Chain A
Amino acid sequence: MNSPAGTHGVQAHGPSSLAVEDLVAGYGEVLALNSVTITADAGTITTVLGANGAGKTTLLRAISGMVRPRSGRVLLDGADRAGRSPEDMARAGIAHVPEGQGVIAELTVEENLRVGMMARPGIARRRADRAAALAEAYERFGPLAERRRRLAATLSGGERQMLVIARALMARPRVLLLDEPSLGLAPRVMTQVMDMVVRLSRESGITIMLVEQNARAALAIADRGVVLNLGRVVAAADARALAADVALRHHYLGF
């Protein structure tokens, strides 16, 4: 059960490429995304950077269906899924971890993880599969195992972030959207969360799109970086190249 082969055996799909093309989305009169085109290759970490209000969160929300795009395409392995509901997107393999450590505080740690499995009715139906998936999660995220019967409300900030990421992975997503996972965490805990994201990418090969305020930390772990400003892409390049671009860093990323 714990062999690498077993771990990959339950992976329903390999990683997928994610792309948005000419994506336009907004709230009322305000256009938060203005013709945004971004490609994230399968199995890579793409970090999306920019100031507050640049459109980073809206980008993730438009991909996962929380916000309906006005126009443009959301391509998962080349198939356009723009405008689908969040439930459909979850079932298609897109896991969105929204900003703010979204644990369900009133449920236990284990119940939170089981909620994560709901996007895969096949696995949720068979007791043995459920147990195996939970065991795998506890193995990967050890601290959660000791707290499985506790209410999520009792967890620390770092544990909560661990739980929401673990919950998102329960659906065995092909694409993981992370919105500011380091927000509100102590620097040491933030480093642990970033390590966790890297490990996740290496071990399971999930395609990750990471929105971060902490550009330096995000660029350090990402393959590619995209900089948004006022709803438009102003730079997109190899993460190392972006980190080396002093002018861009000063202008848009503040470091």
Chain B
Amino acid sequence: MVEFLQFTLSGISFGMIYAAIALSLVLIWRGTRLLNFAQGGMAMFTTFIALEVIYHTGSYWAGFVVALAAGLVLGAVAELTVIRPVLGKPELNAVIITIGLLILLEGLAGIFYSGQYRSFPAAFSITGLRAGSTPLGVSRFDVFVAVAVLATTLLLAVGFRYTSAGLRMRAAAFNATVARLSGIRVVTVGWALAGLLGALAGVLVSPSTFLYPNSMDAIFVFGFTAAVIGGLDSPAGAVIGGLLLGVALSYAGGYLGANVTSLVALGILIVVLMLRPAGIFSGAQVRRV
């Protein structure tokens, strides 16, 4: 019973990170109908920038803020420089460009930092919390992870619902033709926000995974799986998908052994794609006009 509680809580903490990556993929998907394979690479790169800032300033929070800002800028620059020219061309072109961007970023990180594993600091204590004498399986930092992603998600949701930029993005996501005929150009905002979410995920996950050029590859796959579970079109689905996947992988790792988690993730991905290719929350979207 205690084990179950521990696995559940730690699953939620990791699930929030998958949710952040999933949400970033959904933002880009909704704006451009494109899967950004460079999302993990961008997150890795901004986390290296954070590490550099923390090293020079001695302040974790300075690194945290710079990483998010760098994510925002990197997302926007990537869209403006390499993605925009290929939009409207065959989709495969853009997909290959994102893979190229991934290889470029991982290559650059390799040149600057070599392939070494680096430890990345956590904002709060990573020793396990206890309720009385019962270990909960999560630390203060895990709580921070959950709160940070949740707060960012809620901010985005409020922004989507109540701001003009949010309305533009929703209009473009639901009906690209009408949006274009209304003079709306939103692609860059989606990429910038996705870059920010990726950067957040990178900073939050790196204390647990270490930081190296490929360190976000597995997280990207989990985030992608979470996005597919939720349906690539649904921001709420992405968050729920992330949580479900996080908990499922935590149980799998806890009860079956850590080496099966990737296998379980891919198994879930295949099952979802076979049974509900539009995601398990696709029922809410009745139709596309």
Contacts and interface: CB of A to CB of B under 8 A. Distances in A.
Interface of A: 64, 66, 85-87, 90-91, 95-96, 98, 100-107, 111, 114-116, 118-120, 124, 153, 167, 171
Contacts of A91: 183
Contact of A115 (B182, B185, B286, B287): B182
Contact of B167 (A85, A101, A114, A153): A114
B113 interface: no
A105 B170 CA distance: 11
B184 interface: yes
B177 interface: yes
15 contacts: A66-B181, A86-B181, A87-B184, A90-B180, A90-B182, A98-B177, A98-B181, A102-B175, A103-B289, A104-B175, A104-B178, A105-B289, A106-B170, A118-B168, A118-B184
Contacts of A115: 167-168, 171, 178-179, 182, 184
Contact of B171 (A87, A104, A153): A104
6 nearest CB pairs, A to B: A119-B183, A90-B183, A86-B180, A106-B174, A115-B171, A105-B289
B232 to A, nearest CB: 16
Interface residues of B, number: 19
Give the dominant DSSP class at B's interface: helix
Interface of B: 164, 167-168, 170-171, 174-175, 177-185, 286-287, 289
Contacts of B184: 87, 115, 118-119
A105 B287 CA distance: 9
Given A103-B289, A106-B170, A124-B164, A118 B175 contact: no
Kindly name the residue among B164, B175, B180, B182 whose own CB sees the greatest number of chain A CB atoms within 10 A.
Answer: B182
A85 B286 CA distance: 31
Contact of B183 (A103, A105, A118): A118
Nearest to A102: B178
B162 to A, nearest CB: 11
A111 B167 contact: yes
Given A98-B177, A101-B289, 10 more contacts: A66-B177, A86-B181, A87-B184, A98-B178, A98-B181, A103-B289, A114-B164, A115-B171, A115-B182, A119-B184
Contact of B185 (A66, A87, A103, A107): A87
B26 to A, nearest CB: 15
A167 B182 contact: yes
B89 to A, nearest CB: 13
Contacts of A66: 177, 180-181
Contacts of A101: 289
Contacts of A100: 289
A194 B286 CA distance: 31
B182 A105 contact: no
Given A114-B167, A115-B167, A118-B168, A104 B174 contact: yes
Kindly name the residue among A115, A167, A171 whose own CB sees the greatest number of chain B CB atoms within 10 A.
Answer: A115
Contacts of B286: 153
B170 A64 contact: no
Contacts of B164: 114, 118, 124
A196 B287 CA distance: 29
